[in-house]
Amino acid sequence: MNDVILKAENIHYSYDSEKEALKGVSLDIHEKERLVILGANGSGKSTFFLNINGVLKPESGEVYYKDKLIDKSGIKELRKNVGIVFQDADNQIIASSVRAEVSFGPMNLGLDKEEVKKRVDDALNYMNIHHLIDRPPHYLSGGEKKRVSIADIIAMDSKIIIFDEPTASLDPKNVAIFEDALDKMSSDGKTLVISTHDIEFAYRFADRIVVFCDGNIIADGKPVDVLIDSKVLKMANLKKPILLDVFDTLVENSIVKKDCVPVRSVE
Ligand code: ADP
């Protein structure tokens, strides 16, 4: 396995004093990994992402990027290297043209004009949307907006790219375009972390799956081990894996609480 690029250690976080959203989450993310995060709505996935990219500050616990403990002085470096593509592109896109939108991050890094222009051209070409450069993002289609929001992160040259439920708002054609882009990013050495409710996608794409439940990690391993545990297969008397039935079996056998079952996008 590759070196650990990001380490989260015993992260606790609450939005209010009533309920902890993260109850001591520890996770090592390895360089160039294709990591998929499963978990029901409200299980803490997005809160975890915001804690490991410096948008939220853990109440307690530590984040290390390339073995360096992130303190106040390291936040900028962390945010540059851990980019998040949000579920809803409209919440991410802020500028009035695609060019201005994708320039925003590199400009904030303090790069000179020529380098910003190069970053923007390269990122838009990477996502096959250079022809949209002068368009106002808010009038683009859902698939085009998603590609602009990914170009935002590519232009930052983030080493880790987190996708929070990326396919939820995409039609099948755009899901296919998105998956091709993921493969390209992966072969270019990016570390990819993706939360999804689509177990079939998780199985197809991931080289490791982590399952969140109620602010904790309840499973972590190879897809085949997490989704098609041999004990589960035996209990369910399945001759071959039927992925969408696996979670039912886990619930039936009280291995996973019903609340922890990801919502299915494929029936
Ligand atoms: P997921 O991404 O798995 O759906 P979240 O991290 O969004 O889970 O939510 C974890 C918990 O934190 C939930 O109980 C949710 O209601 C709560 N939560 C999330 N965001 C906020 C917020 N901005 N203010 C208050 N509570 C929040």
**Which ligand 1 atom is nearest residue 48's CA?**
6
**Which ligand 1 atom is nearest residue 165's CA?**
2
Residue located nearest, by CA, to atom 14 of ligand 1: 42
Residue located nearest, by CA, to atom 16 of ligand 1: 42
Strand partners, 80: none
pLDDT at 241: 46
Using alpha carbons, select from 157, 195, 149, 12 the residue that is nearest to residue 81: 157
Q: What's the CA-to-centroid distance between 213 and ligand 1, angstroms?
A: 12
Mutate to test the pocket of ligand 1, among 14, 16, 47, 51 (most ligand atoms within 8 A of CB): 47
**E-assigned strand segments in the chain:** 4-16, 19-30, 34-38, 60-65, 68-69, 82-85, 160-164, 191-195, 208-213, 216-221
pLDDT at 229: 57
pLDDT at 39: 83
pLDDT tens-place values along the chain, 267 residues long: 789 999 999 999 999 878 899 999 999 999 999 999 988 788 899 999 999 999 999 999 999 999 999 999 999 999 999 999 998 888 889 899 999 999 999 999 999 999 999 999 999 999 999 999 999 998 999 999 999 999 999 999 999 999 999 988 788 888 888 999 999 999 999 999 999 887 778 888 999 999 888 899 888 888 877 776 545 444 444 444 445 566 666 667 666 666 665 544 333
pLDDT at 120: 97
CATH superfamily of 4-227: P-loop containing nucleotide triphosphate hydrolases (3.40.50.300)
Residue located nearest, by CA, to atom 24 of ligand 1: 15
Using alpha carbons, select from 178, 218, 226 the residue that is nearest to residue 202: 226
Residues with CB under 6 A from ligand 1: 15, 21, 39, 41-47
- ipTM of predicted complex: 0.99
Residue located nearest, by CA, to atom 23 of ligand 1: 15
Domains of the chain by residue range: 4-227, 230-258
